């Protein structure tokens, strides 16, 4: 599967990335070193910074939307007011892992698997799971992001795949799923540091994540495949995420690490968030 994303350079609190033919410069606090290739930075079509607010320079140089293939999934990209563009490419390695693991588990269990994606954003992981044939539930509190994810499904010819598209508060949804007896073989959750539900419900990761994980545990099947927990919140290191999963999923195998933005072999990797996953058996 092809990939049209590349980290070109990083440093001085910024990152230089290529999305298809479009090169962007955006902030990245952890890039505290000096750039490797200072001359490359002039190639950016647009730049975003947060100095005195949220500011794009050269936004008019960008198409209102363009599409690229990232981690085997075609994604619609568009510059938003907050500097996001519709994909977090540091998660693409997890998409591949989810796709491959669901394929393996489906053969092992000899049945269709159910995959739940919480805080699902623009749907990269949902669509990777759908590519494996899993029955998916995609949930985000933002109606606009769920519509964006549905557009991405069409770009991947997955508009007719068995995907439930849900706009809701995660905790309220999970509590209803527990009452309804709905269960899932695999779950991914990427909780925000701070967020709001569909009706303004407050989500603070320090206060809400324990409740979320407890509910996730309750909606797992009797023989689940995996749970993946990711975070961009400072302080939620790989070991913290691993310990949280271990608390609610005793037994099995837990692995953890950093999510990385990568480019050529000569380009220094750029950590951008952390992950941990629990696997049954």
pLDDT, one tens digit per residue, over 147-160 is 999 999 999 999 99
Nearest to 144 by CA among 164, 167, 118: 167
CA distances from 152 to 156, 167, 240 (A): 6, 16, 32
Range of the domain at 113: 89-279
Question: Of 77, 110, 135, which marks where a domain is finished?
Answer: 77
Identify whether residues 131 and 203 lie together within a single domain.
Answer: yes
What CATH number does residue 13 fall under?
2.60.40.1180
Distance separating alpha carbons of residues 13 and 31, to the nearest angstrom: 5
Question: Hey, how many other C-beta atoms are within 10 angstroms of the C-beta on 157?
Answer: 9
Cα-to-chain-centroid distance, residue 204: 18
Question: Of 52, 77, 102, which marks where a domain is finished?
Answer: 77
Question: Of 51, 77, 103, which marks where a domain is finished?
Answer: 77
Identify whether residues 141 and 68 lie together within a single domain.
Answer: no
Please tell me the predicted confidence (pLDDT) of residue 279: 96
Identify whether residues 57 and 102 lie together within a single domain.
Answer: no
Distance separating alpha carbons of residues 175 and 185, to the nearest angstrom: 17
Please tell me the predicted confidence (pLDDT) of residue 196: 67
Average pLDDT, the chain: 95
Mean pLDDT of 102-117: 96
Distance separating alpha carbons of residues 132 and 113, to the nearest angstrom: 9
DSSP assigned state of 159: T
**What pLDDT, in 10s, does the model give residues 218-228?**
999 999 999 99
Identify whether residues 73 and 110 lie together within a single domain.
Answer: no
Identify whether residues 179 and 269 lie together within a single domain.
Answer: yes
- Burial classification of residue 114, based on how many CB atoms lie within 10 Å of its CB (0-12 exposed, 13-18 middle, 19 or more buried): buried
E strand segments, the chain: 5-11, 14-19, 22-27, 46-49, 55-57, 66-70, 73-77, 114-118, 135-140, 163-167, 186-189, 194-196, 202-204, 226-231, 253-261, 270-279
Angle between helices 238-248 and 205-218 (to 10 degrees): 40
pLDDT greater than 90 at residue 1: no
Please tell me the predicted confidence (pLDDT) of residue 207: 87
pLDDT greater than 60 at residue 137: yes
Q: Which residues contact 8 (CB under 8 A, 6 or more apart)?
A: 16, 17, 18, 23, 37, 40, 43, 263, 267
What CATH number does residue 226 fall under?
3.40.50.150
Lowest mean pLDDT segment, chosen from 177-181, 188-192, 206-210: 206-210
Q: Which position has the token pair 């799923």? A: 177
Please tell me the predicted confidence (pLDDT) of residue 197: 66
Q: Which residues contact 32 (CB under 8 A, 6 or more apart)?
A: 13
Identify whether residues 128 and 213 lie together within a single domain.
Answer: yes
Mean pLDDT of 259-279: 97
Distance separating alpha carbons of residues 110 and 130, to the nearest angstrom: 17
């Amino acid at each position: 599967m092809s990939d049209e994303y590349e980290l070109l350079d990083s440093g001085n609190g910024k990152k230089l990335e290529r999305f298809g033919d479009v090169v962007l410069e955006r902030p990245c606090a952890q890039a505290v070193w000096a750039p490797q290739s200072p001359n490359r930075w002039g190639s950016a079509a647009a730049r975003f910074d947060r100095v005195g607010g949220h500011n794009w320079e050269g936004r008019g140089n960008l198409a209102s939307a363009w599409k690229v293939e990232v981690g085997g999934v075609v994604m619609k990209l568009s510059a938003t007011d907050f500097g996001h563009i519709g994909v977090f490419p540091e998660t693409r390695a997890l998409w591949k892992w989810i796709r491959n693991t669901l394929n393996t588990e489906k053969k092992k269990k000899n049945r269709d698997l159910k995959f739940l994606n919480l805080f699902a954003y623009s749907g990269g992981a949902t669509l990777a799971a759908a590519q494996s044939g899993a029955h998916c539930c995609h949930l985000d509190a933002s109606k606009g992001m769920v519509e964006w994810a549905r557009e991405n499904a069409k770009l991947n010819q997955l508009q007719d795949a068995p995907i439930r598209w849900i706009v809701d508060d995660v905790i309220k949804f999970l509590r209803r799923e527990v009452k309804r007896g709905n269960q899932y073989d695999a779950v991914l959750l990427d909780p925000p540091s701070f967020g709001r539900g569909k009706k303004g419900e407050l989500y603070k990761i320090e206060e809400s994540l324990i409740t979320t994980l407890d509910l996730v545990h309750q909606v797992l099947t009797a023989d689940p495949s995996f749970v993946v927990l990711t975070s961009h919140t400072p302080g939620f290191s790989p070991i913290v995420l691993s310990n949280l999963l271990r608390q609610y999923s005793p037994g099995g195998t837990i692995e953890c690490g950093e999510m990385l933005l990568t480019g050529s072999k000569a380009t220094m990797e750029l950590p951008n968030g952390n992950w941990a996953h629990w696997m049954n058996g």
